[in-house]
Structure 1
Amino acid sequence: MAEDLLTVENLHTQFERADDTVYAVNGVSFSVEPGETLGIVGESGSGKSVSVLSMLGLLRGGRVVSGTAKFMGTDLLKLRRRQLEDIRGRDIGVIFQDPMTSLNPTMRIGDQIMEGMLTHQYTNRKGAFARTLDLLDEVGIPEPKVRFRNYPHEFSGGMRQRVMIAMAIACEPQLLIADEPTTALDVTVQMQILSLLHGLREKRQMSIVMITHDFGVATNFCDRIIVLYAGQVMESAPLEEFLKRPAHPYTIGLKASIIEVGQQERELHPIPGSAPTLTELPHSCPYATRCLFAQERCRQELPVLRNVGASHYVACHRAEEVMDHAG
């Protein structure tokens, strides 16, 4: 097995408020191998983006309490701001959720793509200009020389996301983090963006962390998936194992709440209730109040992540029964 490119262990992140503390991430651990695509799935507020922003030093108002995030053997959480800035954009590229707010409305898109290459001294200005034209062409933006001089408002949502992708891969990163890259895009454009990312990964053999609330996006794009809920990892498994033998009731609930191609007649089954507020450290299963399998033990004891198959881990007291039911 290849040595992991990224290893996050026991990450805890909190947000201090005037009256209380929000325990947003509670012991999240995961790893990414070279060339692998990892999907981080969960509903809004599950801790997906906060986990990744924590390790990149991009949190606003929050702080990392404990944990490690080793990228190529270097713990990102121990680096000074300048050291981390040297890695972000060069070795780790990021595609943010909303390209309209992530792009500078006062700068031409070509200059924004060049900026990262010049900042990290990837090449000189002449080289950066030529590479920007190549990148615009590679991500599917026609007439690169003309579009180089356009501003973000002159692009559609899908085209702005392509610009964000070009910016993220400009310095040939080894790891690309895509934070909800298809949000607010129509289905056709979503598939185009995912196809583009897949092609870029194959060409460059880079790793990708795909953060998404869309279960369908994750299962159609990723090699391995982890499911987050209330700031904790509920399940982690390779894609095939994940689809065939889901071991957590939350995973089954997510699968039942979406319609897949060819299943238009199937009835949707939304998960009842809502996620807990994270103003207290969890002492029991955070999903117990919404879970059809919950027993008294689930309401009293916090389940630990344990192995239930080949590279398959789940935090559920009744995982074996859940797998039998799903089968």
Structure 2
Amino acid sequence: MTQELLRVTDLKTEFQRGDEKVYTVNGVSFSLREGETLGIVGESGSGKSVTVHSMLGLLQGAGKVSSGQAIFQNRVDLLQLRRKQLEDIRGRDIGVIFQDPMTSLNPTMRIGNQIMEGMLTHQYASRKKAFERTLDLLHEVGIPEPKARFRNFPFEFSGGMRQRVMIAMAIACEPQLLIADEPTTALDVTVQMQILALMQKLKQDRKMSVLMITHDFGVATNFCDRILVMYGGKVMEAASLDTFIRRPLHPYTIALKSSIIEVGDRHKKLQAIPGMAKVWNAPPHHCPFYERCTFATQQCLKEVPELTQVDDQEDHWLACHHVEEVLKSVG
């Protein structure tokens, strides 16, 4: 069995807003094995990106991690590292692809120099070696005429090509873990599939682990081995891809899948989830999905359900008080 590369335990993140605290991540736990792709799925505001930013020390403004662990390589807690130590790991052992390459790339710096920057900081002392490696990377991620394109600025590339540049930057130092935060946002469907295919090939060639953050179920099911569903800052369900597709059990996951168009199923009726996505203004004392759930009872209002294993299935975990009722409803 492959070893664990990352284990996050009871991660909690809060933001100060005036005199009150907003809890955006509330007790998130998960693990990622070597060579595995884990997808964190959820709608906007569910806490997906904040979870990753918390681990990497990239929280903005008044955000802070209030508790938890993020053990990387079975030896270091990312949440306990000083800024310089975390920067060393971020560039060398963990590569990151951010949401919007247009705003993530430096508009005044040639793309070749931006790719070289990480290598000169973490890997090579020689600019010549870094330059040669950059040309190889540009070719590998599918950018034609690498030598000429090296000197281009970000605005001279299309959205898909900018994302390829971001991928080249992220893998430049051969990281063990690649974190992709909404890597296909704002790309058309054809380019999305090209980017996902490229990431899949790079993952296999380098035997990397990938942590994928996405609101798109289609992206997750095309790319991930396991899927984590988040809502209101908490993990609602965690399962292998096969279990997730075949038999999701959390009411939120089921509702999400019911609201998605399936190609070839002309008779399926799409169902909207009633109400609005939850944003916490105080520590929650009940299930975050309570107000929108068709299975909700007074127990859901009084107790926050813990993430527990379902029927001793190794890779299926659920945070719900009414597993038996849900099982009966899905047959």
Same fold (TM over 0.5): yes
2:294 aligns to what?
A: 292
CA displacement 1:195-227 (0-9 Å, x = unmatched): 110010111110000000001111111000111
> Given residue 74 of structure 1, which amino acid in structure 2 is its aligned partner?
V
* CA distance in structure 2 between the partners assigned to 1:201 and 1:324 by the alignment: 39
Which one of the candidate residues 312, 316, 319 is aligned to 2:323? 319
Which stretch of the first structure deviates more once superposed, 69-78 or 120-129?
120-129
1:206 corresponds to:
208
User: Is residue 2 of structure 2 the alignment partner of residue 2 of structure 1?
Assistant: yes
Select 2:180's aligned residue among 178, 181, 191.
Answer: 178
- 1:125-140 to structure 2, matched below 5 A, reads 125-140=127-142
The alignment partner of 1:136 has SS state of: helix
Counterpart residue type for residue 278 of structure 1: W
Counterpart position of 1:76: 78
Structure 1 residue 264 displacement after superposition? 5.1
Q: Percent identity?
A: 70
For structure 1, which segment, 272-281 or 67-76, has the greater mean C-alpha deviation from structure 2 after superposition?
A: 272-281
Encode CA deviations 1:21-70: one digit per residue, 9 max, x unaligned. Answer: 10111000011100000000001111100011001000012000000001
8 Å contact kept, 1:245–1:323 = no
Q: Is the 8 A contact 1:178 1:208 kept in 2?
A: yes
More moved, 1-10 vs 85-94: 1-10
Task: Kindly report which structure 2 residues correspond to 1:1-327, keeping only aligned pairs within 5 A, or say none.
Answer: 1-61=1-61, 62-72=63-73, 73-122=75-124, 124-263=126-265, 266-308=268-310, 309-327=313-331
Aligned-pair distance for 1:265? 5.1
Q: Relative to structure 1, is the Cα distance of residues 323 and 139 closer, same or farther in structure 2, using a 3 angstrom cutoff?
A: farther
Q: State the alpha-carbon separation in 2 of the partners of residues 294 and 84 from structure 1.
A: 42
**Residues 116-157 of structure 1, C-alpha deviations (whole Å, 9 max, x = no match):** 000113452111111111111111111111111100000000
How far, CA to CA, are the matches of 1:272 and 1:198 in structure 2? 36
CA distance in 2, matches of 1:35, 1:168: 17
**d(CA) in 2 for partners of 1:109 and 1:262?**
42
CA contact (8 A) 2:40 2:48 kept: yes
- The superposition leaves residues 266-318 of structure 1 with CA deviations (integer Å, 9 ceiling, x where unpaired) of 33212111122211111111101101111221122211111102321100011
Change (3 A) 1:80 1:17: same
SS at match of 2:4: coil
Between the two proteins, the alignment pairs up a number of residues equal to 327
> Gapped runs of 5+ residues in structure 1?
none
Q: Which runs of 5+ in 2 are unaligned?
A: none
Q: Which amino acid aligns with 1:313?
A: W
Instruction: Normalising by structure 1, report the TM-score.
Output: 0.97
Tell me how far apart the structure 2 counterparts of residues 221 and 248 of structure 1 sit (CA, whole Å): 22
Whichever residue aligns with residue 69 of structure 1, its letter is A
**1:323 to partner: Cα distance:** 3.1
Q: What is the Cα deviation at residue 253 of structure 1? A: 1.1
Q: Contact (CA 8 Å) 1:303, 1:316: kept in 2 or not?
A: yes
Q: Which amino acid aligns with 1:66?
A: S
TM-score (norm 2): 0.96
Q: Which amino acid aligns with 1:239?
A: L
Q: Report the Cα distance in structure 2 between the residues aligned to 1:105 and 1:69, rounded to whole angstroms.
A: 33
SS at match of 2:119: helix
Secondary structure at 1:100's aligned position in 2? helix
**Cα distance change of structure 1 residues 118 and 300 upon mapping to structure 2, 3 Å threshold:** same
